[in-house]
């Protein structure tokens, strides 16, 4: 099946993070939205990465991506630059964090160029980067992809709202945090925020809620995917991007976007996010098998299943 799966192009950050949690710390933890997305999506079909790193980026991570069959032709390595760096500390509940430091480095002048071989891909995910660059990538596609997904953040909602609205008009699926959905629409109620977002372009909306799971709004329908209660959460960094990787990867694999496929995609996204948080960086996303992924899908099924009951 995997041979026939259309490839997914992702553009986003590739970073070296410094992650501090209540119980542990990793000073050189490879991260970035495109990295997590790619590693997660790679289990569903071919992935093509667009990003930028500096001379300090660990060679091992490029090897890891390639070993996971991620096409890195679109990963620009700047020989005299440094990789984007983020440093953050998680609170005791592991659901909130403080950013301690951000160094854009080569990311500041990132000018994504899609390799020729990427331009006819049917699935495109615009991970969290400045909307002007998301637009630029979308414009480089030979034709409008079958599905365009997008992630964004408070910074762009506040500072580059016009560009964001322009790209949103051309997007099929928006993945966004709960607070960002409220901020984007000015609407505290999520059901009404979702309606406003549909009007901005995206037919499908995924609202991410961290350890509380995610909601899908699509065609008047709502679906709630829980997060798996885990005994050991090591590092939540990248959970949302791993979710997006599993979500888009699964949709590309099945080749359709019916309500049912979107629901299964939400669960595969949740599965990949649950693996992600069990380790630093992409440690736990590496070397998974389809069998283990399916096992965890079944764990979500057990987690949410109930029989129909009636009072009448």
Q: Which residues bind its own copies (CB under 8 A)?
A: 22, 43-44, 92-94, 182, 188-192, 209, 212-213, 215, 221-224, 226, 229-233, 250, 253, 260, 263-264, 266-268, 290-291, 293-294, 297-298, 301-312
Nearer to its own copies, 76 or 180 (CB): 180
Half-sphere exposure of 65 (CA within 13 A, CB side): 26
Q: CB 133 → its own copies: shortest distance, Å? A: 31
Cα 263 to Cα 222: distance, rounded to the nearest angstrom? 10
Token pair 């006819």 in the structure block, residue: 120
C-alpha span between 236 and 226 (Å, rounded): 16
- In angstroms, what is the minimal distance from the CB of 300 to its own copies? 8
CB of residue 39 to its own copies, shortest distance in Å: 15
Q: Which is nearer to its own copies, 54 or 240 (CB)?
A: 240
Where do we find the tokens 């699964």? 250
- Minimum distance from residue 278 beta carbon to its own copies (Å): 12
C-alpha distances in angstroms, 235 versus 38, 60, 71, 124, 288? 18, 20, 26, 27, 18
User: Shortest gap between Cβ of 255 and its own copies (angstroms)?
Assistant: 13
Q: Rank residues 98 and 139 by Cβ distance to its own copies and give the closer one.
A: 98
Nearer to its own copies by Cβ, of 95 and 160: the residue is 95
Please say which residue, 70 or 271, places its beta carbon nearer to its own copies: 271
| Beta carbon nearer to its own copies, 166 or 209 | 209
Please state the closest distance from residue 117 (CB atom) to its own copies, in A. Answer: 25
């Amino acid at each position: 099946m995997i041979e026939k799966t259309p490839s997914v192009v992702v553009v986003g950050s590739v970073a070296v993070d410094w992650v501090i949690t209540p119980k542990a710390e990793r000073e050189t933890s490879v991260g970035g939205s495109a990295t997590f997305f790619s590693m997660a999506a790679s289990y569903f079909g071919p992935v093509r990465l667009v990003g930028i790193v500096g001379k300090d980026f660990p060679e091992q991570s490029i090897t890891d991506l390639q070993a996971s069959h991620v096409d890195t032709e679109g990963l620009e390595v700047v020989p005299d630059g440094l990789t984007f760096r983020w440093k953050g500390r998680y609170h005791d509940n592991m659901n909130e964090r403080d950013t301690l430091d951000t160094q854009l480095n080569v990311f500041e002048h990132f000018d994504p160029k899609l390799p020729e071989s990427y331009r006819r891909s049917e699935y495109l995910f615009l991970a969290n980067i400045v909307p002007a660059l998301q637009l630029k990538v979308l414009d480089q596609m030979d034709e409008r992809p079958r599905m365009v997904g997008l992630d964004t953040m408070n910074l762009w909602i506040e500072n580059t709202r016009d560009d964001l609205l322009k790209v949103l008009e051309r997007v099929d699926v928006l993945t966004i945090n709960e607070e960002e959905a409220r901020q984007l629409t000015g609407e505290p109620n999520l059901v009404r925020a979702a309606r406003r977002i549909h009007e901005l372009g995206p037919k499908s909306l995924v609202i991410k809620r961290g350890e509380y799971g995610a909601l899908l709004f699509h065609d008047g329908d709502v679906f709630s995917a829980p997060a798996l209660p885990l005994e050991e959460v090591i590092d939540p960094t990248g959970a949302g991007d791993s979710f997006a990787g599993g979500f888009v990867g699964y949709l590309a694999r099945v080749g359709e976007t019916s309500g049912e496929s979107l629901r299964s995609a939400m669960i595969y996204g949740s599965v990949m996010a649950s693996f992600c948080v069990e380790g630093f960086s992409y440690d736990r996303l590496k070397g998974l098998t389809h069998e283990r992924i399916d096992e965890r899908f079944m764990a979500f099924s057990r987690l949410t299943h109930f029989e129909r009951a009636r009072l009448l």
